[in-house]
């Protein structure tokens, strides 16, 4: 890859990150002019107490002073204090981080692998029964709200059939450790993970399918066939590697969607991750927590985009240069 | 793209059975939303007026879709809920398309640094995860139907802006635009007379595909407790069902209809929009 390409992408990502930080500050300090007032609405606080709170949350001084104070704290890794738990936001987020990484990571991988496999088969034999069936299925999953799918799954598999636990990270009061604990946690993760994977598998299938349709007409496939390669070989060695590129760029975009989808799905399965933390912060409303979560979600998606852009540049020399 | 005549368009559209099905479903739901006050007495939505009703009643002759934890008719909530979903979906789409089109036309037409700045802004908005931004905005602005519409449109215009800009750039290079300029036409005249008519079909298709996304977002925000607390909506029904414990009670009639309604409307708009896009964009036709 050319160095210029890499530097350009990194700078682009950095500028987006700066934009997010500014938006974050603007939303919580300018649109919502006096957070202390709205946080403690309905409670009897003396003017003195309010002033002290403003000082504590860096809310005194001009907007510009507040902005620099916010940046200074941010650079030191300080995201403020959660209003609900009275603990640092970073601690709260840190605890909720791993359950979400496990859930979203597994769900993204599953939906990508299954979606791509479906797309390959559907696009290779256009208008076959498999193609029509899988496209209908994809359109359907695209239209289903992920949280409603989660409610249906919970009602059917956990409540009616009792195959899966109704929620949580592990059995309440479990004393298991090691492998049994891990198995218990996987059992709890299975249903929310499946719901997220099904909700997003359709998009991968649709994109992979249309990319295959574009590739099928290429000359180099004719050449490969003329060489006498079997159909399966042509598909595996020549069609798929070329057609899979658009899926690479979709995966970063979709990562953001799955992360968002986990907000509602996690709260339905009481999965103690970032999604449930978001819902609790909305209920508060716990503004410092919401601010920290928004920053984290955005940073994760920006990094995923950067990684995918660089990967794309590496895989496709026309984009990244050699 | 404009080579499709009106007769040709209608003929192609009628031949697409899925699109016709989508249209029929949409008309049905639109009628239900418009006629809601005629179909159902809006007293049925009030918890006070439903005090004498049985709570958690399963579907029967009296209550077609049963009752909820407060004894309110689920069928009445379903009928009224369609109003908010469709209204928010349509209004948010209008604003989304308006912002996106203005940004796209200005960027594509002005070029140079204006284009660069607007596209940078578009890229920023594209990368920021949409739902977290919408949640944060809705939480800061407060609950209300117009706030929801604002939140959805301010977060979803970038893809339209990109699409429109690309189209403007190709139209701009056409000979007839040069000719109009040579004859002394003003910028505004060129935009109104040549650029907009050529970009309009694309905007229309992109609008139809933006409606389902707006509806899904409204539902999700309402489910997360950020919707308008005073109005029945499908998302709010699902939230209340979940909070009241409908799932553990096995009260499927409480949370099934609203979800099916969302799926039907979203699917119908998607089928309709895809058919529109396919007819208007010949490159997609062979697929």
Q: What secondary structure, in 3-state letters, does chain A show?
A: CCHHHHHHHHHHHHHHHHHHHHHHHHHHHHHCCCHHHHHCCCCCCCHHHHHHHHHHCCCCCCHHHHHHHHHHHHHCCCCCECCCCCCEHHHHHHHHHHHHHHHHHHHHHHHHHHHHHHHHHHHHCCCCHHHHHHHHHHHHHHHCCHHHHHHHHHHHHHHHCCCCCCCCCCCCCCCCCHHHHHHHHHHHHHHHHHHHHHHHHHHHHHHHHHHHHHHHCCHHHHHHHHCCCCHHHHHHHHHHHHHCHHHHHHHHHHHHHHHHHHHHHHHHCCCCCHHHHHHHHHHCCCHHHHHHHHHHHHHHHHHHHHHHHHHHHHHCHHHHCC
Report the alpha-carbon distance of residue B165 to residue B161 in Å, rounded. 6
Distance of residue B90 Cα from the nearest chain A Cα, in angstroms: 17
> What number is the average pLDDT over the span A267-292?
87
Which of A151, A152, A266 is most worth mutating to test chain B (most B CB atoms within 10 A of its CB)?
Answer: A151
pLDDT of res. A69? 83
pLDDT of res. B103? 93
- Each residue's pLDDT tens digit, A149-160: 999 998 888 888
pLDDT of res. A35? 63
> What number is the average pLDDT over the span B17-40?
87
> Of A109-113, A132-136, B6-10, where does mean pLDDT reach its minimum?
B6-10
pLDDT tier at A23 (50, 70, 90 boundaries)? confident
Please enumerate residues of B whose Cβ is less than 8 A from a Cβ of A: 120, 123-124, 127-133, 135-137, 139-141, 212, 216, 219-220, 223-226, 238, 241-242, 247-248, 250, 252, 255-256, 258-259, 262-263, 266-267, 270-271, 287
Cβ(A269)–Cβ(A167) under 8 Å? yes
> What number is the average pLDDT over the span B125-142?
84
Domain, as residue range, for B169: 6-39+62-286
Task: For residue A251, give every residue at least 6 positions away whose Cβ sits within 8 Å of its Cβ, in sequence order, or none.
Answer: A108, A112, A304, A308
Cβ(B119)–Cβ(B107) under 8 Å? yes
For residue B245, the SS3 value is coil
Decide if B55 is inside a domain. Answer: no
Per the structure, the count of domains in chain B is 1
Decide if B1 is inside a domain. Answer: no
Decide if B208 is inside a domain. Answer: yes
Residue of A nearest to B286 (CA): A213
The residue to which tokens 């990967």 are assigned: A311
pLDDT of res. A226? 84
Residue among A151, A213, A279 minimizing CB distance to B224: A279
CB contact under 8 A, B132 and A144: no
pLDDT tier at A317 (50, 70, 90 boundaries)? confident
Long-range pairs for A69-78 at CB < 8 Å and ≥24 separation? A70/A25, A70/A29, A71/A21, A74/A21
- Each residue's pLDDT tens digit, B166-217: 888 888 778 787 888 788 778 778 878 877 887 888 788 788 888 988 999 9
pLDDT of res. A117? 92
Decide if B275 is inside a domain. Answer: yes
pLDDT of res. B215? 92
- Each residue's pLDDT tens digit, B137-180: 888 888 888 988 998 998 889 988 988 888 888 887 787 878 88
Task: For residue B18, give every residue at least 6 positions away whose Cβ sits within 8 Å of its Cβ, in sequence order, or none.
Answer: B271, B275
Instruction: Give pTM, 2 decimals.
Output: 0.86
Distance of residue A178 Cα from the nearest chain B Cα, in angstroms: 31
pLDDT of res. A183? 84
CB contact under 8 A, B287 and A278: no
Looking up residue B213, the CATH number of its domain turns out to be: 1.10.3720.10
> How many CB atoms are located within 10 Å of the residue A262 CB?
29
Task: Name the more confident of A293 and A163.
Answer: A293
CB contact under 8 A, B123 and A143: no
- Each residue's pLDDT tens digit, A200-236: 898 889 889 988 888 888 888 888 888 888 888 888 8
Angle, in degrees to the nearest 10, between helices B234-243 and B74-110: 130
Angle, in degrees to the nearest 10, between helices B252-280 and B6-15: 140
Q: Which two tokens stand for residue A15?
A: 């500028």
- Each residue's pLDDT tens digit, B238-287: 999 898 887 888 778 888 889 999 999 999 988 888 888 777 766 555 54
Decide if B51 is inside a domain. Answer: no
Residue of A nearest to B274 (CA): A139
Write the DSSP symbol of residue B159: H
Distance of residue A221 Cα from the nearest chain B Cα, in angstroms: 19
> What number is the average pLDDT over the span B30-54?
77
Residue among A143, A260, A301 minimizing CB distance to B212: A143
Residue among B135, B219, B248 minimizing CB distance to A159: B248
Exposure string of B7-34, with b = 16+ CB inside 10 Å and e = fewer, is eeeeebbeebebbeebbebbeebeebbe
Q: Does residue A285 have a cis peptide bond before it, meaning omega lies within 30 degrees of 0? A: yes
pLDDT of res. B1? 44
Q: Which residues of chain A neighbour B271 with C-beta distances below 8 Å?
A: 139
pLDDT of res. B228? 84
Looking at the predicted structure, is the pLDDT value of residue A98 above 80?
Answer: yes
Domains annotated for chain A, with CATH where assigned, are 1-84+286-322 (no CATH), 98-283 (1.10.3720.10)
Distance of residue A190 Cα from the nearest chain B Cα, in angstroms: 18
Looking at the predicted structure, is the pLDDT value of residue A42 above 80?
Answer: no
CB contact under 8 A, B216 and A145: yes
For residue B280, the SS3 value is helix
CA dihedral B215, B151, A257, B263 (to 10 degrees): -10
Q: Which residues of chain B neighbour A140 with C-beta distances below 8 Å?
A: 263, 267
- Each residue's pLDDT tens digit, A61-93: 777 888 888 888 888 888 888 878 888 888 889
Q: Which residues of chain B neighbour A15 with C-beta distances below 8 Å?
A: 120, 124
pLDDT tier at B93 (50, 70, 90 boundaries)? very high
ipTM value = 0.86
Instruction: Note the helical H segments in B74-195.
Output: 74-110, 112-127, 130-141, 145-156, 158-172, 175-182, 187-190
Task: For residue B175, give every residue at least 6 positions away whose Cβ sits within 8 Å of its Cβ, in sequence order, or none.
Answer: none
C-alpha A287: how far from chain center: 21
Q: What is the overall mean pLDDT for chain A?
A: 84
> What number is the average pLDDT over the span A309-316?
84
Report the alpha-carbon distance of residue B134 to residue B227 in Å, rounded. 12
Distance of residue B22 Cα from the nearest chain A Cα, in angstroms: 13
Which of B29, B128, B278 is most worth mutating to test chain A (most A CB atoms within 10 A of its CB)?
Answer: B128
Decide if B53 is inside a domain. Answer: no
Report the alpha-carbon distance of residue A120 to residue A208 in Å, rounded. 6
Highest mean pLDDT among A166-175, B55-64, B85-94, B220-229: B85-94
Task: Name the more confident of B39 and B154.
Answer: B154
SS3 content of chain B, % helix, strand, coil (to 5): 75, 0, 25
Distance of residue B178 Cα from the nearest chain A Cα, in angstroms: 32
Residue of B nearest to A123 (CA): B287
Distance of residue B171 Cα from the nearest chain A Cα, in angstroms: 25
């Amino acid at each position: 890859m050319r160095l210029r390409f890499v530097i350009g992408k990194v700078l682009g990502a950095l500028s987006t990150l700066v934009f997010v930080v500014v938006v974050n500050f603007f939303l919580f300090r300018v649109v919502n002019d006096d957070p202390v007032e709205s946080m403690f609405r309905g409670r009897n606080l003396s003017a003195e107490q309010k002033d002290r709170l403003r000082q504590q949350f860096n809310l005194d001084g001009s907007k510009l002073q507040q902005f620099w104070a916010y940046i200074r704290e941010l650079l030191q890794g300080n995201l403020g204090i959660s209003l609900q738990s009275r603990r640092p936001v970073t601690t709260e987020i840190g605890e909720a981080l791993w359950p979400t990484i496990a859930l979203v990571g597994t769900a993204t991988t599953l939906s990508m692998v299954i979606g791509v496999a479906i797309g390959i088969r559907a696009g290779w034999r256009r208008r076959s029964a498999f193609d029509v069936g899988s496209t209908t299925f994809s359109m359907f999953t695209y239209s289903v709200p992920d949280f409603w799918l989660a409610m249906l799954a919970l009602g059917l598999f956990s409540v009616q059939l009792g195959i899966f636990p109704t929620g949580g990270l592990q059995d309440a009061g479990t004393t298991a450790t090691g492998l049994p604990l891990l198995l218990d946690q996987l059992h709890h993760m299975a249903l929310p993970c499946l719901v997220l994977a099904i909700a997003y598998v359709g998009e991968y299938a649709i994109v992979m399918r249309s990319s295959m349709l574009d590739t099928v007409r290429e000359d180099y496939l004719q050449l490969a066939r003329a060489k006498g390669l079997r159909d399966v070989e042509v598909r595996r060695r020549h069609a798929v590697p070329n057609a899979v590129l658009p899926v690479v760029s979709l995966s970063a975009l979709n990562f953001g969607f799955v992360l968002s989808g986990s907000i509602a799905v996690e709260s339905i399965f009481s999965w103690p991750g970032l999604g449930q933390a978001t819902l609790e912060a909305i209920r508060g409303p716990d503004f410092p927590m919401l601010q920290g979560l928004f920053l984290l979600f955005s940073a994760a998606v920006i990094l995923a985009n950067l990684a995918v852009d660089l990967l794309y540049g590496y895989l496709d020399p026309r984009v990244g240069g050699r | 793209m404009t080579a499709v005549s009106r007769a040709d368009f209608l003929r192609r559209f009628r031949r697409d059975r899925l699109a016709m099905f989508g249209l029929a479903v949409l008309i049905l739901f639109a009628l239900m939303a418009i006629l809601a006050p005629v179909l159902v007495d809006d007293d049925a939505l009030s918890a006070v007026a439903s005090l004498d009703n049985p709570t958690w009643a399963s579907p029967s002759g009296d209550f077609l879709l049963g009752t909820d934890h407060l004894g309110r008719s689920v069928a009445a909530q379903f009928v009224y809920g369609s109003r908010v979903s469709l209204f928010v979906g349509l209004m948010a789409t209008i604003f989304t398309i308006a912002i996106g089109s203005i940004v796209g036309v200005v960027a594509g037409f002005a070029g140079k640094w204006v284009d660069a700045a607007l596209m940078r802004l578009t890229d920023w908005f594209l990368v920021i995860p949409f739902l977290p931004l919408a949640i944060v905005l809705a939480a800061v602005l407060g609950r209300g139907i117009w706030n929801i519409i604002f939140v959805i449109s301010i977060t979803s215009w970038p893809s339209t802006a990109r699409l429109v800009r690309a189209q403007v750039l190709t139209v701009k290079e056409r000979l007839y635009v040069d000719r109009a300029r040579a004859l002394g036409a003003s910028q505004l005249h060129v935009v109104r007379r040549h650029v907009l008519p050529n970009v309009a079909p694309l905007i229309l298709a992109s609008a139809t595909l933006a409606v389902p996304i707006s509806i899904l977002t409204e539902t999700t925000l309402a489910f997360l407790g950020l919707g308008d607390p005073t109005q029945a909506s499908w998302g709010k029904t699902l939230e209340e069902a979940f909070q009241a414990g409908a799932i553990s009670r096995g009260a499927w009639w409480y949370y099934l209809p609203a979800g099916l309604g969302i799926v039907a409307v979203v699917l119908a708009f998607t089928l309709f929009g895809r058919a529109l896009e396919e007819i208007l964009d010949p490159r997609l036709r062979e697929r």
